[in-house]
Amino acid sequence: MDMTDKCVLVTGGSRGLGLATTRQLLQQGYNVFTCSRSQTPELQALMAQAGPARLSWCAAAVGQAEDEERFFAQAVQWTAGRPLWALINNAATAQDGILATLPNVDSERIIETNLTGALRLSRLALRHLLSKGTAGRLINISSIIGSRGYTGLAAYSASKAGLDGLTRALAREVGRRKITVNSVAPGYLETEMSASLQQRQRSQIINRTPLGRLGTVDDVVPVVLFLLSDQAAFITGQTLVIDGGISC
Ligand SMILES: NC(=O)c1ccc[n+]([C@@H]2O[C@H](COP(=O)([O-])OP(=O)(O)OC[C@H]3O[C@@H](n4cnc5c(N)ncnc54)[C@H](OP(=O)(O)O)[C@@H]3O)[C@@H](O)[C@H]2O)c1
């Protein structure tokens, strides 16, 4: 294990990609503070294994400004003077439904969580990094649906397209301060979020994917780790697509 005192904040670390990222970050020697609205046995087990100085969690709903501020304040306190290296905006929500019939409140909640929450957390993290004068990394977990669209996911598509725009703008705003900002855009992954796909939709996606399968979190986590590494110091403002070629 390559030990470091670097601290990384991950939203939505209780399951799926956020949990897998958290696990690998710990293995690489990073310290992780995460949040989600509820706990899972898997995250609890990881916390027990890692200990509170290396992995901590608070209940917070991204998309609610007070929760985001509390998450960030608790995270800074938890770092106990160790450098904050990165924020990974991973928490997101999706709901299948045609825009014309989806209740407005649901569309707004999707945008509020996936885009507005990520924007507000990015502001908190960047303010912190700029005030310390330290380098850092911001990674937004986007989706190929942000650039391609998908029937029934209009608000989700809009939120991810917005996130990629946020990535490009912030990369320009903070590049001179050695802070990089990138998006990672997976295709369809085997997680709870995609569990609602009907068999017909799964087969269609697999047929259209040159590499002939859905992605897994293990396809995505190494790219996140790479973006956090020194080797990625000259990459910013990009959206890295990991989709088995479906969008090529
Ligand atoms: N799965 C896919 O096919 C796919 C494809 C492309 C991109 N992505 C992106 O990859 C990221 C992770 O997705 P996933 O598949 O791992 O999703 P997931 O399995 O549904 O996990 C989502 C995580 O985020 C948390 N979360 C959800 N809403 C939250 C909120 N408002 N505040 C705080 N935490 C919240 C969840 O915990 P709680 O519910 O307890 O809050 C959970 O820990 C997302 O940004 C997603 O858009 C996924």
CA–CA dist 225, 178 (Å, integer): 18
Task: Provide the pLDDT for residue 93.
Answer: 97
Question: Radius of gyration of the chain from Cα atoms?
Answer: 17
Ordered by start, the domain boundaries in the chain are 7-242
Residues with catalytic annotation?
Answer: 156
CA–CA dist 74, 58 (Å, integer): 8
Mean pLDDT over all residues of the chain? 96
SS3 of residue 57 by DSSP = strand
Name the residue with tokens 């005030």.
Answer: 131
The two tokens of residue 119 are: 């924007």
CA–CA dist 200, 20 (Å, integer): 27
Task: Provide the pLDDT for residue 3.
Answer: 56
Query: Strand pairing partners for 34?
Result: 10, 57
The residue among 70, 92, 231, 202 whose CA lies nearest residue 158 is 92
pLDDT in tens, 193-225: 778 788 898 999 999 999 999 999 999 999 999
Any ligand 1 atom below 6 A from CB of 116:
no
Any ligand 1 atom below 6 A from CB of 157:
no
Task: Provide the pLDDT for residue 35.
Answer: 98
Any ligand 1 atom below 6 A from CB of 37:
yes
**pLDDT of 241 over the 60 cut:** yes
In CATH, what class is 7-242?
A: alpha beta
Place 191 in a pLDDT band, splitting at 50, 70 and 90: confident
pLDDT in tens, 101-159: 988 889 999 999 999 999 999 999 999 999 999 999 999 999 999 999 999 999 999 99
Nearest atom, ligand 1, residue 220 CA: 10
